[in-house]
Amino acid sequence: MQAEIEKLFDEKPETYSEDHYSLFQAFKAALNAGQVRAAQPDPAAPSGWRVNGWVKKGILLGFRMGAVVDMSVHAGRQPFFDKATYPVKQLTASSGVRIVPGGSSIRDGCYLGKGVTCMPPMYINAGAWVGDGTMIDSHALVGSCAQVGRNCHISAAAQIGGVLEPVGALPVIIEDDVLVGGNCGVYEGTVVRQRAVLGTGTILNRSTPVYDLVRETVHRATDDQPLVIPEEAVVVAGSRAIAGGKGKEWGISLYTPVIVKYRDAKTDTKLQLEDLLR
């Protein structure tokens, strides 16, 4: 499948044949089943994760191949127009996914594990991978190709950024047992290691270093590596004073994320409520 997808992506035909559409449907079925992923764990990679560029090419093919069609359930009350290749994901009770009524949307071509809970309204885009037992809370976004592990809580209004292009770019990675607090934003291929906690309002991206007060170090992205948040780190939104010029004169501080501790028994006690919500 990989060779066929890459050839079709690199050598665009004048028109797409039935065989091409059959290939894409088989590819999308593999995405839905979690058999192929836009990124996957790889101990040999410096970040611990490897991008599968051919999978991202396959997702992009769907946008090339699909015509915009009317998908409205009721044209007068809620018109809905999108690419025919990416309808709403089809789920049944046997899928083991809990979707609470109230306006959530899950696009076809993403993987949802058993016991995932979707609180309204939330959105999961094509290419995303969400592990068993994870909760996606109200107004939260899981962007295209983002990888979210098992037993995570993506809290209300949190934004897990997506990336399709360039195809070699690592998507956002949220590993197992991570709590992403309300109104957090995780972008630009950031990797959040397992059991980390992001406090309310924390923003992580390639441009902003993270100051680790416990280990007395600074975590930052480089030209070829993403920002990586260590295992069990507790990160909160902080600020750093400008050291010179008008910024210092005016008393201005810049936003910066800060690691204030690493998870302990007290942290785990506070998070036990998450199990009750599931």
Residue 278 lies in a domain: no
Q: Is residue 84 part of a domain?
A: yes
Mean pLDDT within 40-58: 96
What is the per-residue pLDDT across 117-169, written as a single tens digit (0 to 9) for each? 999 999 999 999 999 999 999 999 999 999 999 999 999 999 999 999 999 99
Is the pLDDT at 266 greater than 80? The verdict is no
Number of domains in the chain: 1
Q: What is the pLDDT of residue 73?
A: 86
d(CA 91, CA 97): 8
| Residue 7 placed within a domain | yes
> Can you give the pLDDT at residue 274?
53
DSSP symbols for 123-183: EE-TT-EE-TT-EE-TT-EE-TT-EE-TT-EE-TT-EE----SSTTSPPPEE-TT-EE-TT
Supply the CATH number for residue 129's domain.
2.160.10.10
Instruction: Read off the pTM.
Output: 0.94
Per the listing, tokens 């199990």 go with 275
- The model's pLDDT over 208-245, given as tens digits with 9 standing for 90+, comes to 999 999 999 999 999 999 999 999 999 999 999 999 99
Confidence of residue 75 (pLDDT cuts 50, 70, 90): confident
The predicted model gives 42-59 an average pLDDT of 96
**Boundaries of domain holding 46:** 2-68+80-88+97-266
Q: Is residue 272 part of a domain?
A: no
Is 30 among the domain residues? yes
Asked if residue 274 is part of any domain, the answer here is: no
Element (H, E) at 239: strand 233-241
Instruction: Check residue 206 and give its pLDDT.
Output: 96
**Is residue 255 in some structural domain?**
yes
Smallest CA-to-CA distance from 204 within 195, 214, 191 is with 191
In a domain, 53, yes or no: yes
